[in-house]
Amino acid sequence: MKASAFDYARVESLEEVFALFAEYGDEARIIAGGQTLVPAMAMRVAAPALLIDISRLEALQGIARNGDRLRIGAFTRYVELQHSPLVAEAAPLLHRAIPLIAHEAIRSRGTFGGSLANADPASEMPACALALEAVMVIANAEGERRVAAADFFQGLYQTALEPGDVLVAVEIPVAQDGMQGVIEELVRRQGDYAMVGLAATGKAANGMLSGPRFVFFGVGDRPVLATKAAEALADGPISPEHIAEAQAALAQDFTPLGDIHCSPATKAHLARVLLGRVVSRLLEHR
Amino acid sequence: MAHALSMIVNGREVNAHVEARTLLVDFLRDHLGLTGTHVGCDTSQCGACVVQINGLSVKACTVLAMQADGADVTTIEGLAEGETLHPMQQAFQDHHGLQCGFCTPGMVMSALDIVRRHPDPSEAQIRDGLKGNFCRCTGYGSIVEAVQAGAKAMR
């Protein structure tokens, strides 16, 4: 036994979750796929008194398109996202991001909502959510509310989720015609968290990019939208000079936080490299 | 507090009571005596503990036994038919896909997952599918050959 002792409840309704939160307060923790939480508990970094297993909560499942919105249940596992034709068509960025997450045997368990709620700044899903302008649907005993990705990620493992809240679903605007999604990351070993990564959306036509959104991950305490870099690419057909200007503009967008593997200067360099690659890929529609 | 647990393991129904903190890998090894599933890193890095839940590969060190309640679980012990090895196991033997053998159960279980997704896998698909399995003898070349041969034998 590695984890400290805890109680366990598998719920079948949101009301049950709210009742358990009312009883246990912040001593209760939701377990989705558990691919981060179970190792954290085994290392005793996390020690909740109660685990609430939401795997059989139907309200958190399913992928559906409602008009111009794609709604993805928070408990959707990566393997389901990867094989959903709806996701591939309506959110190509997400479809392309899934193979970068860990390994097949982890993608079979891990969930979209679990990654978002965990808000690891080096993971792919929060960056994709911000690039795609996703909206989080959050429920608690009082009712439901919606929080934009830009407001949801608030710091290192910090989100807009309050004690008693459940992330129910994520709504993503359906990609309009020609809207591309591209993701690149640099890792020490395949499947590891990124040293630096970049999730991007944009529409390419006649050598120009319209409405690009560049979201870097692994550079700070949350995913970072690089607006200055995008502005540098706004005028006219994109030339190598434009790309160089955008790469230089990244310095105004953020100063990376270093970690044990990478200094801030190394991360800044890698971010510039990734921006060049991603802009080329967006222009080439691949 | 003990929780009632029921699952199918290698085709046999299993009923037990476990503490909530029991990991699936510990349940398989300590409660059921199925010690073919190995514990390497215990933090989902190494892949020695890979088993199947409802036909999909998982890392059994990162799944609570209770999360597999009601599931159909297959371990390395569930592959052979009596004394006859599964074609993938046989391929590992024939192609020297193991040295010390510690990583082998997880390698074979991941190999079956690769074949499920790609019945005729390329070398790149095999290497991609084995990203989450470490061989500290570094015998990857032979392992890739074994998976290719095993996949062929299974077609």
Note the pLDDT of residue A92.
96
**pLDDT surpasses 90 at A101:** yes
Is residue A192 very low, low, confident or very high in pLDDT (cuts 50, 70, 90)? confident
Percent of chain A's residues with pLDDT above 70? 99
Are B32 and B64 in a shared domain? yes
**Are A92 and A181 contacting, i.e. CB atoms less than 8 angstroms apart?**
yes
The answer to whether residue A279 scores a pLDDT higher than 80 is yes
Distance from C-alpha of A97 to C-alpha of A82, rounded to nearest angstrom: 9
Residue A148 above 70 pLDDT?
Answer: yes
**Is the CB of residue A51 less than 8 Å away from at least one CB of chain B?**
yes
Would the CB atoms of A39 and B62 count as touching at under 8 Å? Answer: yes
Model confidence at B139: pLDDT above 80 = yes
B91 shares a domain with B54: no
- A22 contact partners, CB below 8 Å, separation of at least 6: A141, A164
Average pLDDT estimate for A199-224: 95
Residue from A108, A187, A188 to probe the interface with B (highest B Cβ count within 10 Å): A108
> Tell me, what's the pLDDT at A234?
85
Which residue, A204, A209, A254, is CA-closest to A231? A209
- End position of a domain, from candidates B49, B78, B107: B78
Q: For residue B41, give both structure tokens.
A: 């890193």
Indicate if the pLDDT at residue A123 is higher than 70. Answer: yes
pLDDT, one tens digit per residue, over B8-17 is: 999 999 999 9
- Regarding whether B9 and B67 lie in a shared domain, the answer is yes
Mean pLDDT of the B35-41 span:
95
Q: Across the interface, do B53 and A108 touch by the CB < 8 Å criterion? A: yes
Query: What is the pLDDT confidence band of residue A286, given thresholds at 50, 70 and 90?
Result: low
Whether the Cβ atoms of residue A17 and residue A52 lie closer than 8 Å to each other: yes
pLDDT exceeds cutoff 80 at A100:
yes
The closest CB to that of B59, out of A6, A53, A106, belongs to: A106
Q: What is the mean pLDDT of chain A?
A: 95
Q: Has residue A235 got a pLDDT over 90?
A: no
Cα gap A191→A206, rounded to integer Å: 35
Q: In chain A, pLDDT over 90 holds for what percent of residues?
A: 92
Question: Is A106 in contact with B26 (Cβ distance < 8 A)?
Answer: no
Query: Cβ of A42 and B50 within 8 Å?
Result: no
Domain match, B149 and B91 both: yes
From B51, B78, B105, give the residue that closes a domain.
B78
pLDDT at A58: 95
Contact A35 B57 (CB under 8 A): no
| Domain match, B67 and B105 both | no
pLDDT at A178: 84
Domain CATH for B129: 1.10.150.120
pLDDT of residue A191: 83
pLDDT, mean of residues A14-36: 97
In terms of domains, do B51 and B97 share one? no
Report the pLDDT averaged over residues A163-174.
97
Q: Do A39 and B43 touch (CB under 8 A)?
A: yes
Cβ neighbours of residue A222 under 8 Å, at least 6 residues apart? A119, A121, A126, A153, A154, A155, A156, A158
Residue of A2, A51, A103 with shortest CB distance to B20: A51
pLDDT of residue B25: 97
Tally C-beta pairs within 8 A across A and B: 87
- Residue B130 C-alpha, separation from nearest chain A C-alpha, in angstroms: 8
Q: Identify the pLDDT of residue B48.
A: 97
CB distance B132–A3 less than 8 Å?
no
A47, closest residue in chain B (CA to CA):
B21
Span A41-95, pLDDT tens digits: 999 999 999 999 999 999 999 999 999 999 999 999 999 999 999 999 999 999 9
Whether the pLDDT of residue A1 is over 80: the answer is no
What percent of chain B stands above pLDDT 90? 96
Mind listing the pLDDT tens digit for each residue in B98-111? 999 999 999 999 99
Neighbours of B101 (CB within 10 A): 12
Tokens representing residue A106 in the block: 């982890």
One domain for residues B99 and B74: no
The C-alpha R_g of chain A, in whole angstroms, comes to 19
Total count of domains within chain B? 2
Same domain, B128 and B105: yes
Segments forming the whole domain that contains residue B110:
87-154
Partner B, chain A 184-223, Cβ-Cβ below 8 Å:
190-191
Return the H-helix or E-strand segment holding A165: none
Chain B contact for A8 (CB, 8 A cutoff): yes
pLDDT at A217 over 90: yes
Do residue B43 and residue B64 come from a single domain? Answer: yes
| Residue range B139-143: mean pLDDT, rounded | 96
Overall average pLDDT of the B82-107 stretch? 97
CA distance B20 to chain A (A): 6
- In this structure, the answer to whether residues B39 and B10 fall within a common structural domain is yes
pTM for the full predicted model: 0.96
- Domain end call among B78, B106, B134: B78
Query: CA nearest A106 in B: which residue?
Result: B58
Q: What is the mean pLDDT of chain B?
A: 97
SS3 at position A108: coil
Chain B residues with beta carbon closer than 8 angstroms to that of A4:
21
Q: Which of A131, A249, A266 lies closest to A196, judged by CA?
A: A266
Residue A285 has pLDDT above 90, yes or no: no
Residue B67 sits in the same domain as residue B91: no
How many angstroms separate the CA atoms of A108 and A83, rounded?
Answer: 11
Same domain? B63 vs B97: no
Q: What is the DSSP string of A65-106?
A: EETTEEEEETT-BHHHHHT-HHHHHH-HHHHHHGGGSS-HHH
Q: Which residues of A touch B1 (CB under 8 A)?
A: 7
Residue A121, C-beta contacts closer than 8 angstroms, at least 6 positions apart: A156, A217, A218, A219, A220, A221, A222, A223
Residue pointed to by tokens 């990734």:
A274
pLDDT in tens, B114-132: 999 999 999 999 999 999 9
Q: How confident is the model at residue A271 (pLDDT cuts 50, 70, 90)?
A: very high
